[in-house]
Amino acid sequence: MSRAPATRSRARRFWRRLALGASVLVGLASAAAIALYMVARPALGDAPRGARQTRIAQSPQWRDGHFVNPLARKDGPMLRAMYAFAFGGSAHRTPDAPISVTARHLSDYANPPASGLRVTWLGHSTMLLEIDGRRVLIDPVWGERASPFSFMGPLRFFAPPLALAELPSVDAVIISHDHYDHLDVPTVKVLAGRGVQWIVPLGVGAHLESWGVPARQVTELD
C-alpha cells in the first residue's frame, strides 16, 4: 500500500521533466527556425549595391562595415535604458486601461487648417503633418505588428485612427530609419502606387525599390 503514492510521485516527476524537456526542445527548434528564416529570407528588402553602396562607403557615418550613430552611447543612460527594456518587467509596457482614440476620416482633411499647421498622430511614430498647404507623412505604419512576421511580434494597442484607404494625398513620406515600427512593408507597398516622393536615410532606398517604389521617387539623405 505504501508503494503506490511513491510510484505515482515518481511518475508525475517523470512526466513533468518530459514536458519541460519537450518545451525546451520546441523553443530551441522555434528559435533555430526563425534564425534560418531571417538568414534565408531577410525581412527587409534588397541590400545596397553599386553607386548606392559606393556613396554609403564614403559617408562619415560609415565605419568598419556599418553605420555608426555618433549620438549613441553604450554607457550611462543608454545602458540603463537597455537593461530596463530587457529586465524591467512589464511595468509601463502595456496600458492599464483602453486608450481613448478619436477616429479620423478623409473628409476631415478636405479643408486646410486655419493656422497653417496641423499634426495628426496615428500610432507608433506615424504622424500626418500639414504645414503651409503641404502634407508630409512620417514613418507610416498601418500594420498589425511591428515585426518581420505577420504571426508574431508586438501588436498594436489600437487600430490606426485613420484607415489607410482614407489617407488624403500627401506630398512626401519621410522615413527616419528602418526599424519595424518605423518602416512597415505592407504600408510601403500600398503607398508605392501613389506617386509620392520618399525621403529616407542613405541605403534605405534599396528596400523601397525592392517593394515597388520607383527609384525616381526616392531621395536618400545622409
Q: Please report, for the chain, the start and end positions of each structural domain, with discontinuous segments joined by +.
A: 1-41, 102-221
Contact 123, 141 (CB under 8 A): yes
pLDDT at 27: 63
Contact 70, 175 (CB under 8 A): no
Mean pLDDT per block of 10 residues along the chain (222 residues) reads 66 76 69 54 72 92 86 69 72 80 96 95 95 96 88 87 97 94 93 94 94 96 92
pLDDT at 4: 67
Helix, strand or coil for residue 138? strand
Helix residue ranges, H only, the chain? 3-40, 50-57, 76-87, 185-191, 205-210
Contact 45, 210 (CB under 8 A): yes
pLDDT at 2: 54
Domain range 102-221, its CATH number among 3.30.2320.80, 3.40.228.10, 3.60.15.10, 3.30.70.3450: 3.60.15.10
- Cβ neighbours for 106, distance < 8 A, ≥ 6 positions apart: 166, 167, 168
pLDDT at 71: 75
Residue type, 169: S
From 148, 144, 111, select the one nearest 130 (Cα to Cα).
111
Rounded CA-CA distance 12/20 in Å is 12
- Say which residue the cell 517523470 belongs to: 14
Cell numbers found for residue 141: 505604419
Contact 198, 215 (CB under 8 A): no
pLDDT at 40: 46
CB atoms closer than 10 angstroms to residue 11: 10
Q: Report the predicted TM-score, pTM, of the whole model to 2 decimal places.
A: 0.74
211-216 contact pairs (CB < 8 A, 24+): 211/45, 211/185, 212/188, 213/188
pLDDT at 99: 86
